[in-house]
Amino acid sequence: MPSCKPKTRFIPATCAWTLLLACTTLFFVYPCISLFYSLGIYVPVYQGVVTLFVVLNFSLATFMDPGVIPKDEDRDDDFRAPLYKNVEINGITVRMKWCVTCHFYRPPRCSHCSVCNHCIETFDHHCPWVNNCIGRRNYRYFFMFLCSLSIHMISIFTFCLIHVLDRKEYLTEPTTIVR
């Protein structure tokens, strides 16, 4: 049973995509053009590459399967299954828990996501900003998204600050009215 309504679960992800794309577009339209003329082609090329990494990793974290373990729909004896089962893996005894929803014993580090209603391998968390679970198969892309987004935000802030400081002299000069 999802913890949020199906109609509203896309709102945080949509806001994240809109905010990322809108702020990046505003940067490329306004300060980046001015910085291109004062500092050269390096600023738009650098910021374009960083933006590409952000969007690529954001897309992969959002749309890639996090490691969903398929449900066993055919099984009817889940009420008779014990809650825990000990299994030996590579000489180590591992305690596996029965998932009542998915109808199987969950492997180690696997957890059931109440939002997606699936068991996820190496489950970390369900991220509303990417509208996906973060698990075994998309964890590296989520981590790279966070790293590249941090670099993206710091560089846009720095370039905007340089842009404002370059324009400071134009803002502080008194304007004369010609009649």
List the catalytic residues: 127
Q: Tell me which H or E stretch contains 17.
A: helix 11-29
Q: Tell me which H or E stretch contains 161.
A: helix 139-172
DSSP state of 77: G
Burial code of 28-66, b = ≥16 C-beta within 10 A, e = fewer? Answer: beebbeebeeeeeeebbeebeebbebbbebbebbbebeb
CA distances to 16, 69, 107 from 144, rounded to whole Å, are: 16, 24, 26
Pairs from 78-81 (Cβ < 8 Å, separation ≥ 24): 78/103, 81/105
